[in-house]
Amino acid sequence: MSELDRSALKARNNLLALFLVYVILDTILVVIAKDIWAIGRILVTIVVMYFTLQGRKWAKWALIGILSFLIVALLALVVALYSKLSTMGALKNSCCHPNCDRQNLLIKSYDVGVD
């Protein structure tokens, strides 16, 4: 096996490993978003990956675009969840008395959206 063949095989294995990580992250994003129709996006990505492994240039650029979108979507999700979690932490710590009903009332009103 020549040096070029080993390098190509290593690059292909790295690409497959990264793609597997991508599919897992995208599946997590679909589950968190509770969007069943987003499974179609995963299937399209798998088809694009197949054509990428076949050496199609258009598929390579399509895959780069899809992966870039996933990175942006995951970062937006982390930012959105962080602000929600920090708000819940502020509500839980709003009262210093351990048996305070005000704290429970605040948390309950936050959960149901009552002002």
d(CA 12, CA 17): 9
* Residue range of the domain that includes 39: 3-112
Pick the residue with more confidence: 49 or 82?
49
50-65 mean pLDDT: 88
Coil, helix or strand for 95? coil
Span 2-16, pLDDT tens digits: 776 888 888 888 888
For the chain, what is the domain count? 1
Pick the residue with more confidence: 113 or 85?
85
Pick the residue with more confidence: 4 or 103?
4
Q: What is the C-alpha end-to-end distance of the chain, expressed in Å?
A: 70
DSSP 96: -
Q: CB within 8 A of 38, min separation 6: which ones?
A: 29, 30
Span 65-92, pLDDT tens digits: 888 887 888 788 778 887 766 655 554 5
pTM, entire model? 0.53
- Look over the chain and give the mean of its residue pLDDT values, rounded to a whole number: 75
User: At residue 29, what are phi and psi to the nearest 5 degrees?
Assistant: -65, -40
